[in-house]
Amino acid sequence: MRERTLDTTDLRISSLGLGCNNFGGRLEAATARQVVHAALDAGITMFDTADIYGNRGGSESILGEALGARRKDVVLATKFGLPMDEAGKLQGGSTAYVTAALEASLKRLKTDWIDLYYLHRPDPATPMTDTLYALDALIVQGKVRYIGCSNMSAEQIMEAQRVSQAKGLHRFVACQNQYNLLSRHLEAEIIPSIEAHRLSLIPYFPLAAGMLTGKYRPGAAIPAGSRMSYQHYADEFLNDESFRIVAKLQQFSVQRGRSLLELAFGWLLSKPFVGCVIAGASTPEQVRQNAAAIGWNFTAAEMTEVNRLAVKRR
């Protein structure tokens, strides 16, 4: 497993990170523990979760138990901000809530610090200045090493970085958004903002909910329990245009003795602004397959051709 340094930080992370959003939901504790151990054995050191995952807290609790004494060997990322109660009171980016959310995550994860703490989504009810001051205080206290943002627009990213610089606060060092060969909307505005402000992009859904593994076929039944069995994923990715692009990319990969999985990961990791890719897994074998698919460094010509093949007609 290759490692890289997250730009502007001293965090050494594996090129492939394990997404833990399945823990406590689609995966029960025993299986999740096997997945974590398989990831550690494969050299994966980046573990990504959130307080909301696993029915509000389940993912963090399972991950904390599974890591145990190996916590010190990994880079642990989690998120806050989405509703943690039915009433919607436990959410957002206010000073009081940021502090409370962090303490709750530390307890569930059985750790004294978080390596990378994300605002899961912007909070329209709280000025970004307030959130950044709260996060800065956590860094000063040693409870958080670095901070990041997720699902923010280019304008919101630029405003956050402007506020940090103007107020002398610690700034966001990473941005987590959906990005893959079938979902490239970030390229118009968000990626230029990321590059201008030296954030690392940590893309989630690098495999487009499984479309970029080649396991789905036009007209074939969707396996029960797969991501595509959820309607919002199917609505986004299961269409004729996606299948057309996947077929072209599959052909490109086979001609070079590579797999579609290698292509999906390699395309992302060949981009200098990408810190690592976050991929979930439901079995230890899937972890090993993902880890084995890391390593295709695209040439400029390959990047140009893949970009061309992945252009949507509509």
Known catalytic residues? 53
Paired with 117 in beta bridges are: 78, 147
- Give the residue carrying structure tokens 């086979």: 254
Contact 51, 78 (CB under 8 A): yes
Burial per residue of 21-30, b for 16 or more beta-carbon CB atoms within 10 angstroms, e otherwise: bbbbeebeee
3-state DSSP call for residue 174? strand
Strand 144-150 and strand 12-14: the pairing is: unpaired
Residue 298's identity, in one-letter code, is F
Place of tokens 């695209």: 298
Alpha helix segments (H runs only) across 42-116: 53-67, 95-109
DSSP string, 154-202: HHHHHHHHHHHHHHT---EEEEE-B-BTTB-GGGTTHHHHHHHTTPEE-
By the 8 A CB rule, do 194 and 158 touch?
A: no
> Measuring CA to CA, how many Å separate 254 from each of 54, 94, 248, 260, 262?
37, 50, 10, 8, 11
Measured between alpha carbons, how far is 200 from 273 in angstroms, rounded to an integer?
5
CA triple 270-271-274, angle to 5 deg = 110
Contacts of 154 (CB under 8 A, 6+ apart): 189, 190, 192, 193
Position of tokens 């996606």? 242
Kindly give the pairing relationship between strand 172-176 and strand 3-5: unpaired
